[in-house]
Amino acid sequence: MDKRMKMWKKAVPFLCFAVLMFGLGSSDSLRGIFAPVFQNRYALSDPQLSMIVTISYVGNLLFLSLGGKLLDTFGRKTVALSVTGIWVLSMLLNVVSDSYPCILISMFFALGASTLLNTTVNILAPVVFSGYAGLMVNIFFFIQGIGTSGSQFVLGRYGLSYSGFKGVSLLLLLIGVAAGALLLLTPLDGEKKEKGNPSKAVPFKGQQSEMTQSKEGKMKQNPGKAVFILLCIMIGFYFIGEHGIMNWLFSYCIQAFSVPGGKASVYLSLFWGGMTAGRLIFAPVVQKLGTVKSIRIFGMIGTLLFCAGILTGEKGILLLSISGLAISVLYPTMVLLIQQIYPTEVAATRTGAIISVATVADIVFNLLFGVITGVIGYRLSFMILPVCMAGFYISYMVLQNNIWRNAR
């Protein structure tokens, strides 16, 4: 009976998070896939169309900045259920409405809720899957990647119409309801905290040796502002590097080297494919090495590939594509890192704040990058990306030296 109960406590959360992450990945792709459909149906100008992306970024920032504090204050299961409900209602709005303002409202809440739920799964994984959180987090992000790439492939070929948008919104609504029902059944015993005994930041199995310890053998608690700032800088630089390739590699190939569009799309597909597959392939590696060594090793490889790929010009484009495989595990593993640095009772708040600041840096970069390319061209503009990846890695090494003793 005890064995069955233990299996239940692992199987239900796994199914819940897997279903949720697949749905979130599919939901995140809606604004891009259906942009031409929205523009044709509502006769949108280019600025009106870009407002859909802008409003979704605003939703991301608002949900992350407020959501972290809510997770720490009202309980993660309660907030996760509430935010899942918001996501489901956003999909319902897509199904029952037919107007541009409703699309804006839906994208604001759907993408904001999606980002917070994504982060919540990353926060809950160490609680539910204690002992192998690194493995599970990367598997869940792999499933999310399948949702994103799978929906782009299927809808791009068979469902690129307004009726297709309605149909996929209904399907995502049902996925959200199923995930919510599974979340209700998901036991989160590890989330409970005894009164007067605040929980500490506890690393998953195999990580204790990596954490800095005081003379009494206890891990550092309540890191200062310097650690918070370093984390913001580190993830901000990383976002610019990763999203710079995602958003601009196709244009870089064509504008800087006159690469044919078909070949440029292959390079971008290789990067996306590497990002998705790497999270499954390297999940056991992250679990074995731990967060500290994983970020150090994969971060170094990714940074070197970025530098070599940009500096060698057209011959290096393939290296940029391959870099997706190397950096695939970095983001989910960095979010796990935050959980290890901060005490449990403030971890969600700090995570939301750090990712929000990093997202602002990413938004500013994307707003300015188009202007920069117009002034100095794509070839020189892309030099920003290896510089940012180098900044990410240097920030991490400084952070590591401040917190861990045995990470060298």
Give, in order, the Cα–Cα distances in Å from 131 to each of 43, 137, 338, 377.
Answer: 53, 12, 17, 48
Residue 212 has phi, psi (to 5 degrees) of -65, 135
Count other Cβ atoms within 10 Å, centred on residue 261: 10
User: What pLDDT score was predicted for residue 388?
Assistant: 97
Identify the pLDDT of residue 238. Answer: 97
Report for 94-103, 245-254, 265-274: range of highest mean pLDDT: 94-103
Region 319-340: mean pLDDT is: 94
Position 8 scores a pLDDT of 65
Quick one: pLDDT at residue 370? 80
Residue 276's H or E segment, with its range, is helix 261-281
Q: Is the pLDDT of residue 278 over 80?
A: yes
Q: Are residues 312 and 166 in the same domain?
A: no
Say if residue 212 is in the same domain as residue 185: no
- Same domain? For 169 and 222 the reply is no
Task: Tokens for 259, please give them.
Answer: 């690469």
**What percent of the chain shows pLDDT beyond 90?**
48
Q: Name which residue leads in pLDDT, 32 or 322.
A: 322
Rounded distance between C-alpha atoms, residue 234 and residue 337, angstroms: 12
- For 224, half-sphere exposure in the C-beta direction (CA atoms, 13 angstrom radius) is 4
Q: Taking residues 353-366, report their average pLDDT.
A: 89
Domain annotation covers residue 239? yes
Q: What's the pLDDT at 367? A: 78
Question: What CA dihedral angle connects 82, 13, 154 and 318, to 10 degrees?
Answer: 110
Do 224 and 314 lie in one domain? The reply is yes
**Cβ atoms of 173 and 91 closer than 8 Å:** yes
Q: Give the count of beta carbons closer than 10 Å to the beta carbon of residue 191.
A: 17
> Are 15 and 129 found together in one domain?
yes
Tens digit of each residue's pLDDT (9 = 90 or more) over 74-95 = 888 889 999 999 999 999 999 9
- pLDDT band at residue 303 using 50, 70 and 90 as cut-offs: very high
For residue 264, count CB atoms less than 10 angstroms from its CB and return exposed for 0-12, middle for 13-18, buried for 19 or more.
buried
Share of the chain above pLDDT 70, in %: 87
Q: Are residues 150 and 245 in the same domain?
A: no
Q: Which residues pair with 213 in a beta bridge?
A: 219
* Count of the separate structural domains present in the chain: 2
Q: What is the pLDDT of residue 218?
A: 37
Let me know if residue 408 belongs to a domain.
no
Q: What is the pLDDT of residue 339?
A: 87
The residue written with tokens 């053998």 in the block is 217
Same domain, 233 and 378: yes
Whole-angstrom CA distances from 200 to 34, 122, 176, 197, 271 are 44, 17, 32, 9, 38
Contact 228, 347 (CB under 8 A): no
What per-residue confidence (pLDDT) applies to 131?
A: 77
For residue 213, the domain's CATH number is 1.20.1250.20
Query: What is the mean pLDDT of the segment spanning 254-283?
Result: 90
User: Do residue 397 and residue 316 come from a single domain?
Assistant: yes
pLDDT at 157: 66
Q: Which range, 126-130, 239-243, 339-343, 404-408, has the best average confidence (pLDDT)? A: 239-243
Query: How many other C-beta atoms can be found within 10 angstroms of the C-beta atom of residue 338?
Result: 25
Would you state the structure tokens that stand for residue 221, as one six-digit string? 């608690």
| Domain termination residue (choose one: 160, 189, 218) | 189
Could you read off the pLDDT of 152-200 as tens digits, one per residue? 677 766 667 888 889 999 999 999 999 999 999 887 654 544 434 444 4
The reply to whether 197 falls in a domain is no
Distance CA 207, CA 71 (A): 25
Q: In which domain, by residue range, is 70 found? A: 2-189
- The CA–CA distances, whole Å, from 339 to 178, 245, 354 equal 28, 27, 12
Q: Are residues 184 and 212 in the same domain?
A: no
Between the ranges 205-209, 268-272, 286-290, where is the mean pLDDT highest? Answer: 286-290
Q: Quick one: the chain helix, strand, coil %, rounded to 5? A: 85, 0, 15
Q: Please give the average per-residue pLDDT across 102-124, as a whole number.
A: 91
Instruction: Looking at the structure, tell me whether residues 256 and 224 fall in a common domain.
Output: yes
For residue 345, pLDDT over 70 is answered with yes
Does 213 share its domain with 359? Answer: yes
Q: How many CA atoms lie within 13 A of 20 on its CB side?
A: 32
On whether both 280 and 181 belong to a single domain, the answer is: no
Which residues are bridge partners to 219 per DSSP? Answer: 213
